[in-house]
Structure 1
């Protein structure tokens, strides 16, 4: 296995699915009980902030009660033990990477455990249950929302992410469907720069053909096996 000095890893919902945090497409999952236009857009929040908070309170409780799995732990170990640089970029809004030992995780879609004031953009740690009438601790406006990137909003840290990609010599996508942009375009960006690419997923994604290598199977099995190979190289 080639030795890579600078590894950039993008993770998606498939990394946390085995911890009980459902993906968008899970039948019977929490996403199927709500209209995404009503709970995951700025317009939905403007219409009915109580409904949006109800939805994210349920997701936050699910996250807080979940446990990180072997994939999270393996990636934390890779970051700690790899002699080069390992950067984790995640589309996930849970904190399971951090609980698995990872540091400096780039949360491009925000964080479920953080709150944001829609009036003044102040951010703080979210309580387990958020309330639309709760005042912002900075400006006192009753405009508290989850610090989540909703549909129609620009993901966080995009300049930093593209800068990180340019410095990588291996780009790895783990547990992501390859359908949500801009993240779905990262593999093409990497290929254009001559960066080696690897997909680790339960099954081939829509963009699997764009990767140099693919590994398929449950994240709790494939990710630790890959990490062992990298650290043993």
Structure 2
């Protein structure tokens, strides 16, 4: 399945739906369900703040240029994560009962995912490959800590912004949702380890924030990303 964007399919990977989120959650312990409920509410807050502050602008097709994810500990699916849906409309709050997808696996060789959502027409965000790679990078690169949350918005995408604020930036501009796009981020993560670095810039795509949970990632957005955005706006006005 693919989600259509302004210039063609937004989701560039094969998305294999396996059922509803509620059915999946009914099979997990109460502690996991409680964690899901807590973090998905925090994700809704973070997504709204991303949009309101301009870090996730509304694109010409009226969809929001930003998304979020957090890891969900499910037995048998150690790398499962909750992601926001593809093609969220601007100006509308994130509906925790309808707009969240649980991705239980992503095959980077086949470029395909397995996921759960409320219905067949609700797909995981087009940036799922990037989310999945970043939230599992700790094992590949031997990080001392693993991130559990991910925020992304289409702001702070320029080399000037990266240089001004000392943020790592990728070298190439790539198409979203493609293997090249994820590879570009992973090259950054290889050279700039989390948690010493929590903010990364994808040239021409936007920023990425990693955190120990959604609240931590949102705090980094407020303390590092938003001040950088404000100073970038000021620099363009002079």
Query: Same-fold call, TM > 0.5?
Result: no
Query: Which structure has the highest helix share of the two?
Result: 1
Instruction: Between the two structures, name the one with larger relative contact order (CA 8 Å, sep ≥ 6).
Output: 1
Over alpha carbons, which structure has the higher Rg? 1
TM-score by length of structure 1 reads 0.31
TM-score by length of structure 2 reads 0.30
